Amino acid sequence: MKAVSIKKGQTRVQAPDFVEMGTLRCDSCGEEFIVFQDPSRVDKKAAERQAKWLEKVLTEEHERVP
């Protein structure tokens, strides 16, 4: 596993040794997600791409749910 995003406030069991790269707030629901990366593969540009991907996924999910 190279990267993971976890909803803020949830446990970090899924990525205990990962490096926090930033936080993304969903424009639709206001939930915050923290972007993490494997410490051996930290890449700020990759974290930015990860955040954009997550934003797209969240937008699509909110569009599907009435």
Tens of pLDDT along 23-59?
999 988 899 999 999 999 899 999 999 999 999 999 9
Whole-number pLDDT of residue 25: 93
Q: Which domain holds residue 16?
A: 3-64
Distance (Å, rounded) from C-alpha 21 to C-alpha 5? 10
The total number of structural domains that make up the chain: 1
Reported pTM: 0.80
Whole-number pLDDT of residue 44: 93
Residue 8 main-chain phi, psi, to 5 deg: -60, 135
Report whether 6 contacts 33 (CB < 8 A).
yes
CA-derived radius of gyration, the chain: 12
Distance (Å, rounded) from C-alpha 26 to C-alpha 16? 23
